[in-house]
């Protein structure tokens, strides 16, 4: 069987990536979420924990999992540590992604990569780039409601990501997520049909 069509889903913080991924998984698409893989590698019993303990010290492991708060604080202020952590996690995440793509029996996969443009790790697995987008004000409102971070903290995270216009300029497809869930689901379904159509015509 030919390799499935590869759709990478990306978007700024709080734009709706997980929400969109959930919708596509209901359509039957193989949804592969790099954040979810990263969490399982660093959660209880995760395969990355021993390497992290070796490189960073056991104080970064708490209750059998990565101490995310402590690690976030370190990598936010120290670029070298950030790179070191990425050099442990990225190859493991990618290996798992490739394994899941090999197992994908659907005509396309949806690979969720929050920092797709910033990190540049998955360009080779992206036949199309789908950007989920909403105005910054809405991003901030949603992240604040979900996480309790304040606007200043959210803007600091956003400033470490590519701009909204960069993302939109480099998208093959855009899902506008400024409105109701029902509208988003309908727009996602239209895209799902478009992907199947593209695959049938190729």
Point out which span in 7-15, 65-73, 97-105, 118-126 binds ligand ATP (CB under 6 A). Answer: 7-15
Q: Which of 7, 11, 129, 175 binds ligand ATP (CB under 6 A)?
A: 11
- Among 146, 152, 200, 201, interactor with ligand ATP by CB under 6 A: 146
> Is residue 13 at the binding interface for ligand ATP, with CB under 6 A as the rule?
yes
Comparing CB distances to ligand ATP, the nearer of 46 and 114 is: 114
When asked if residue 14 is in the footprint of ligand ATP (CB under 6 A), the reply is: yes
- Position 177 contacts ligand ATP (CB under 6 A): yes
- Closest separation in Å from C-beta 17 to ligand ATP: 4
Residues 90-119, one symbol each (x = binds ligand ATP by CB under 6 A, - = not), give ------------------------x-----
The nearer residue to ligand ATP, 13 or 85, going by C-beta atoms, is 13
Backbone angles phi, psi at 133, to 5 degrees: -140, 145
Chain residues in the site for ligand ATP (CB under 6 A): 11, 13-19, 114, 142, 146, 177, 181, 184
């Amino acid at each position: 069987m030919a390799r499935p069509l590869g759709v990478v889903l990306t978007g700024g913080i709080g734009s709706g990536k997980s929400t969109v991924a959930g919708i596509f998984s209901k359509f039957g698409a193989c949804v592969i979420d790099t954040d979810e893989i990263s969490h399982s590698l660093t959660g209880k019993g995760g395969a990355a924990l021993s390497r992290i303990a070796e490189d960073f010290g056991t104080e970064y492991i708490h209750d059998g999992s990565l101490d995310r708060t402590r690690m976030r604080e370190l990598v936010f202020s120290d670029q070298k540590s950030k790179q070191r952590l990425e050099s442990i996690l990225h190859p493991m995440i990618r290996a798992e992604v490739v394994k899941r793509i090999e197992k994908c029996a659907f005509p396309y996969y949806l690979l969720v990569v929050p920092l797709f443009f910033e990190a540049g790790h998955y360009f080779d697995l992206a036949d199309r780039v789908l950007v989920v987008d909403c105005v910054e004000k809405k991003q901030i409102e949603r992240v604040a409601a979900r996480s309790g971070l304040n606007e200043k903290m959210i803007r600091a995270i956003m400033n470490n990501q590519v701009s909204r216009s960069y993302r939109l300029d480099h998208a093959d497809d855009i899902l506008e997520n400024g409105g109701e869930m029902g509208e988003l689901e309908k727009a996602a379904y239209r895209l799902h049909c478009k992907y199947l159509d593209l695959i049938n015509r190729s």
